[in-house]
Amino acid sequence: EAGVVQSPRYKIIEKKQPVAFWCNPISGHNTLYWYLQNLGQGPELLIRYENEEAVDDSQLPKDRFSAERLKGVDSTLKIQPAELGDSAVYLCASSHGTANTGELFFGEGSRLTVL
Amino acid sequence: KQEVTQIPAALSVPEGENLVLNCSFTDSAIYNLQWFRQDPGKGLTSLLLIQSSQREQTSGRLNASLDKSSGRSTLYIAASQPGDSATYLCAAPNSGNTPLVFGKGTRLSVIA
């Protein structure tokens, strides 16, 4: 069974440029998460989808970050414009069932460097 | 709001030693707790998921326990190997139907 797939694995951009990350969850997993991980820290939730609906986006900086999960499968996370402080690893995860009961499975992450 | 703390932040042990990693959480009204492993530059790999009705879970040389009343979980690794070197993170949800809150992890080094 294929795991959570993310792309690109690495991205280097200059500040003020846009960037987008893509995630394909495990087949059949209705809940999808985007987490941000800074060096030496645990992941922090940005947004959670249950099917097509964003049910928790309270930690998403909406002035520059946006996300979508059309058709309830793949998801895209966008940053526009990127700032130096956005340099981090962006992790996508998926689970079967609700946020509180499903085991989380993570992708390899997308490492963003903003110069 | 749930807060998850992991102690120690780093641990170095000789190969073959049994070891315990600690995780504490502030809100004991959790539905489950999950332990993960993260290798450098990689994503997180799920190790064990303990439901609130369970006291422990075992997978190979790994055993995770959960004590909700005291807000603690431990990950026991038996007969450690150099390949166990990684960062181990625990995560617990906020109360209610909310996703996992992570600790900062314990960075484990097993020396051959």
Question: Does the beta-carbon distance from B43 to A109 stay under 8 Å?
Answer: yes
Per the CB < 8 A criterion, the answer to whether A102 and A95 are in contact is yes
User: Across A101-105, B91-95, B108-112, which has the greatest mean pLDDT?
Assistant: B108-112
pLDDT by position in tens, chain A (length 115): 689 999 999 999 999 999 999 999 999 999 999 999 999 999 999 999 999 999 888 889 999 999 999 888 999 999 999 999 999 999 999 998 765 667 899 999 999 999 9
Q: Give pLDDT tens digits for B12-39.
A: 999 999 999 999 999 888 888 999 999 9
Mutate: best of B25, B42, B44, B89, partner A, most A CBs <10 A: B44
At residue B99 the predicted structure's pLDDT band, cuts being 50, 70 and 90, is confident
With a cut of 70, say whether residue B95 has pLDDT above it: no
pLDDT at A11: 97
User: How far is CA B1 from each of CA A107, B28, B59, rounded to the nearest angstrom?
Assistant: 26, 11, 30
User: Hey, is the C-beta of A105 within 8 angstroms of any chain B C-beta?
Assistant: yes
Taken as a whole, chain B contains a residue count of 112
User: Hey, is the C-beta of A91 within 8 angstroms of any chain B C-beta?
Assistant: yes
A44 CB burial (10 A radius; 0-12, 13-18, 19+): middle
pLDDT at A97: 76
d(CA A64, CA A88) in angstroms, rounded, equals 15
Residues 22-81 of A with CB under 8 A from B: 33, 40-45, 48, 56
Question: Does the beta-carbon distance from B43 to A40 stay under 8 Å?
Answer: no
The residue with greater pLDDT, B95 or B74, is B74
Q: End-to-end CA distance of chain B, in Å?
A: 41
